[in-house]
Amino acid sequence: MHATCRVVRASSIALAADGLDDDEQPPDLVVLAQVHPGEHAPGDLQRLRRLAPLAPVVALLGTWSEGETRTGEPLPDLVRVYWHQWLPRFEQQMVMFARGVCPTWGLPPTSTDEERLLWSDKHSWLKYDGTVAIAAERHESADWLAGVCTALGLKTVRAGPGASVNPRDLRFVVWDTVPGDGDVTDLSALREVFAEAPIVVVTSFPRTDDRRRLLAAGAAAVLSKPLSLEDLEYQLEMVRAPLRGRSSIP
């Protein structure tokens, strides 16, 4: 964050609010780091919002907060980003801001996740050529990933028995799975078939050990569900493989 903007740190919401009282320039973004559920009081957040009413508030959540929306009482009306989603989402927001486009984090606090996703899709600008192979057990997941890849300009094929594609022609492989004891074995099998294409793993709430295990087994990247277009778009840009005979993506 220090590489792209001025960062002012505070150890609590109350101290951040005190600093805003003395600062003539309101922040463009408030990032609320949360290690565990209940760490911050709703009343403190309301005070912060009154002092910086136009600044989006984004909760940067640690591993212990991943089940908060199902079993706890999460802070209301803010954007929730888990630690393993932070890098692609923050960098995408900064790119949108630099291009003069309202970042998805800048939408009204009452915006739904679906509305933010539609806004992100509308302002996607990266386009690719080539083909991506999609490996997924569930048809719903495969169809959604295919739609996202098509929106980025990629042709899609299903990776599996009977797939009529030359592995050497693939730009990416996107594998939708769940963390488990057999994921490394399955990844190794994909790696053997698609030896030259980077494999992006999409999985549910990966822990730190899950990510390390998959990356060590040959994954180019590990993304967490629920997944946004900007997450996948950013990661494909980071791991893209040039087509044979082509030096870059148009």
User: What pLDDT does residue 176 have?
Assistant: 92
Domain 13-122 identical in fold to domain 131-239: yes
Residue 18 has pLDDT above 80, yes or no: yes
Q: For residue range 163-216, what is the model confidence (pLDDT) as tens digits?
A: 566 777 788 899 999 877 678 888 988 888 888 889 999 988 777 888 888 999
Q: For residue range 138-166, what is the model confidence (pLDDT) as tens digits?
A: 888 899 899 888 878 888 988 865 556 67
For the segment 61-82, the average pLDDT, to the nearest whole number, is 80
Structure tokens at 61: 């959540």
- Please, where are the H alpha helices in the chain? 13-22, 42-51, 68-71, 86-98, 113-122, 139-151, 183-193, 208-216, 229-239
User: What pLDDT does residue 133 have?
Assistant: 92
Q: For residue range 88-129, what is the model confidence (pLDDT) as tens digits?
A: 788 888 888 888 888 888 898 888 877 877 787 676 655 667
Average pLDDT along the chain: 82
- Report the alpha-carbon distance of residue 152 to residue 64 in Å, rounded: 34
Residue 222 has pLDDT above 70, yes or no: yes
- Report the alpha-carbon distance of residue 172 to residue 80 in Å, rounded: 28
Residue 241 exposed, middle or buried by CB count within 10 Å (0-12, 13-18, 19+): middle
Structure tokens at 197: 């294409």
Domain 131-239 listed as CATH 3.40.190.10: no
Task: Tell me the CATH number of domain 13-122, given options 3.20.20, 3.40.50, 1.10.287, 3.30.379.
Answer: 3.40.50
* Residue with token string 């488990």: 180
Cβ burial 73-90 (10 Å sphere, 16+ → b, else e): ebbeebbbbbbbbeebbb
